[in-house]
Amino acid sequence: MNRRIFIKGALAAGAISLSGVDSLVARQARSKAGVRIPMTPYAGGFVLVKPGTTEQALCETLIQQAKTSGASYCDVRLVRYLTQSVGVQDKVVTGISDNESYGIGVRVIKDGTWGFAASRNVSADSGRTLVDDACGMAAANAKLQTAPLDLAPVDAVTAEWKTPIKKNPFEVSFKDRAQFLLDMHALAATVDVSGKKLYVNSWMSCAREEKYFASSEGSKIWQEITRIDPASWLTVANPMTGDFASRALFVLPQGRGYEYIEGYNYKDEIQQAAKDAHEKLTATSVEPGKYDLILHPTHLWLTIHESIGHPTELDRALGYEANFAGTSFVTVDKLKDFTYATDLVTVVADRTQEGGLATVGFDDDGVPAEEYPLIDKGQFVDYQTTREQAKMIKEARSHGQSYAQGWWNIPFQRMPNVSLKPNEKPFSLQDMIKDTDKGILIMGNSSYSIDQQRYNFQFTGQVAYEVKSGKLGKMLRDVAYQSTTPKFWKSLDALCDKSEYMLGGAMNDGKGEPMQSNPVSHGCPPARFSNIRVINTKSEAAVAKHTSMIDYES
């Protein structure tokens, strides 16, 4: 399904120089706007156009064949998935990748049941076989169904949508991307780490989905979705003791172009990250107890993802994910009858959010993107749904949460951008610190653990600071906090305004069997949670493995 291109010798040597990167620059320059890259030996670069009339006609032909074969519904997706990445360790380029995958997926409903088939061979003969296979699969599945599928309605549309980017990352040479990272590493190397060893690892990845969706209901939708994922890890090690500490840059992937990279304040943060990693080596180990936690957006986004994003997926609440990724404590009897958080908390599902990794024009059911509340002033009011699911909870229409990782995957319910709305009243991070007597500020995300119902959890961060009598104090280490989801969100007693709002997220949220990966973002301002249990991960490490998560509540 994929073709991976490395510079000659990169795999054998494990590293390449910038002079080696030059060989890709010329190849990349050969790509011209409007030229389709064939699925033949590598042609270099990825500047593509949407499917032409021949391919669109093929989709219509396959849809008609499915109808003739007895399918009550059919959709066809033509998808080209492009990824490129550059990796750098210290002063050396460690790898470059350039991948392309192109294929077709056919989905039908026959006898009230789904059938699906896919191939990288996009041709009339292959397409006819796919329709037959999908219909055959549906007929076999129908023997096991308990009730026929009842899709929520959607209006037929003919539309185009593109991620609004200013600079296409695929048009920036590998050499320039690698040089950007090397220059950043050189800045980190200027930090004095008192004779200890500093290691820096960075990568810069970009991804693009180009997909055409056609359905038997008349929709014809073309989308170009662009995402970019930069990351850097800095580690300071003491060779005399074997101790080490790390800190990542607080830059997170977004649905934007290369302008996101160029606009980020790397020069200051890369040096600060090196200083923070060095300071962590001798930071004060936290005293276990109850604290008011001030969670920075660079940390809080992941807590939102695990304790709100996943529990409000309807397929999880209905038990469809139980075998692989768990269910949800937010069962359907709680819909519109459960206090999830304090009234400061409004959380929205939003596929329209600017810069969001899950931001699209339409989902893979052809449903338009929208924003709607999951939690409204603390009350649980809705789930994430697809056309297949909406009527299961008596909703008239889908919220548009269908997504497939690639042409070879069948779409199913995947998380949209799930974000915490900021305080409408002015309230800054400094105001929050001044208003806190005994607390801990946590920034960046690290390890976490959460149970199969998304109820009991434990999180750690990249860096933490003592907050005492309204002032930010010394750095702390070995900090982790534990709680249950409703208790935690009901303890939120302060929220910053939109001036402090940031967008975090991840490219690789895994779910389903076979597993699929979904890019998703979570925006939020800093928030304070009162009287939360904090443990010392170092002193309690030996005890923790013998402690049941059901003890967290106490």
Say yes or no: 323 and 370 in one domain.
yes
CA 62 to CA 64: how far, in whole Å? 5
Residue 112, pLDDT > 50, answer: yes
Domain of residue 51 covers 3-280
pLDDT at 213: 97
Structural domain ending residue among the three candidates 256, 280, 304: 280
CA 525 to CA 264: how far, in whole Å? 18
Which tokens is 508 given?
């690789």
pLDDT at 250: 95
Residue 68, pLDDT > 90, answer: yes
pLDDT one-digit tens code per residue, 140-154: 999 999 999 999 999
Say yes or no: 376 and 264 in one domain.
no
Confidence at 21, pLDDT banded by 50, 70, 90? very low
pLDDT at 541: 56
The pTM for the full model equals 0.90
Say yes or no: 315 and 302 in one domain.
yes
Say yes or no: 338 and 464 in one domain.
yes
Q: Could you tell me the CATH number of the domain that includes residue 92?
A: 3.30.2290.10
Number of domains in the chain: 2
Structural domain ending residue among the three candidates 280, 297, 329: 280
Give DSSP secondary structure letters for 391-406.
GGGT-SS----EE-SS
Say yes or no: 298 and 235 in one domain.
no
pLDDT at 32: 30
Residue 441, pLDDT > 60, answer: yes
Say yes or no: 207 and 304 in one domain.
no
Structural domain ending residue among the three candidates 280, 307, 336: 280
Closest CA to 527 of 341, 355, 381, 374: 341
pLDDT at 323: 85
> Does residue 381 contact residue 339 with C-beta atoms inside 8 Å?
no
> Does residue 324 contact residue 515 with C-beta atoms inside 8 Å?
yes
Say yes or no: 320 and 417 in one domain.
yes
Say yes or no: 392 and 535 in one domain.
yes
Residue 13, pLDDT > 90, answer: no
| Max avg pLDDT among 31-45, 258-272, 422-436 | 422-436
CA 58 to CA 195: how far, in whole Å? 65
pLDDT at 308: 98
CA 110 to CA 138: how far, in whole Å? 6
pLDDT at 407: 97
Residue 18, pLDDT > 60, answer: no
DSSP H or E run through 275: helix 266-280
Say yes or no: 61 and 146 in one domain.
yes
pLDDT at 505: 97
Closest CA to 129 of 118, 141, 115, 113: 118
Cis peptide upstream of residue 514 (ω within 30 degrees of 0): yes
Express as a percent the part of the chain with pLDDT over 70: 88
Give burial (CB, 10 Å; 0-12/13-18/19+) of 346.
buried
Position 85, amino acid: S
β-sheet bridge partners, residue 289: 534
Confidence at 120, pLDDT banded by 50, 70, 90? very high
Residues 220-249, mean pLDDT to the nearest whole number: 96
Which tokens is 119 given?
């191939």
pLDDT at 50: 67
Q: Name the average pLDDT for the chain.
A: 89
Say yes or no: 296 and 260 in one domain.
no
CA distances (Å), 543 to each of 482, 551, 553, in order?
A: 15, 13, 17
Measured in whole angstroms, the distance separating CA 274 from the mean position of its chain's CA atoms is 26
pLDDT at 460: 97
Confidence at 25, pLDDT banded by 50, 70, 90? very low
Which residues fall within 8 angstroms of residue 38, CB to CB, at 6 or more apart?
A: none
Residue 365, pLDDT > 60, answer: yes
Closest CA to 205 of 105, 87, 125, 103: 87
Residue 314, pLDDT > 60, answer: yes
Confidence at 45, pLDDT banded by 50, 70, 90? very low
pLDDT one-digit tens code per residue, 240-261: 999 999 999 999 999 999 999 9
CA 520 to CA 357: how far, in whole Å? 5
Express as a percent the part of the chain with pLDDT over 90: 85
pLDDT at 36: 29
Say yes or no: 169 and 79 in one domain.
yes
pLDDT at 268: 87
- The pair phi, psi for residue 265, each rounded to 5°, is -85, 65
Closest CA to 474 of 288, 237, 286: 286
Say yes or no: 266 and 338 in one domain.
no
> Does residue 479 contact residue 460 with C-beta atoms inside 8 Å?
yes
pLDDT at 49: 47
Residue 543, pLDDT > 60, answer: no
Length of the chain, in residues? 554
CA angle 71/74/79 to nearest 5° reads: 150
Confidence at 540, pLDDT banded by 50, 70, 90? low
| Max avg pLDDT among 21-30, 142-151, 290-299 | 290-299
Residue 401, pLDDT > 70, answer: yes
pLDDT one-digit tens code per residue, 483-515: 999 999 999 999 999 999 999 999 999 999 999
CA angle 90/521/450 to nearest 5° reads: 90
> Does residue 543 contact residue 529 with C-beta atoms inside 8 Å?
no
Residues 45-55, mean pLDDT to the nearest whole number: 60
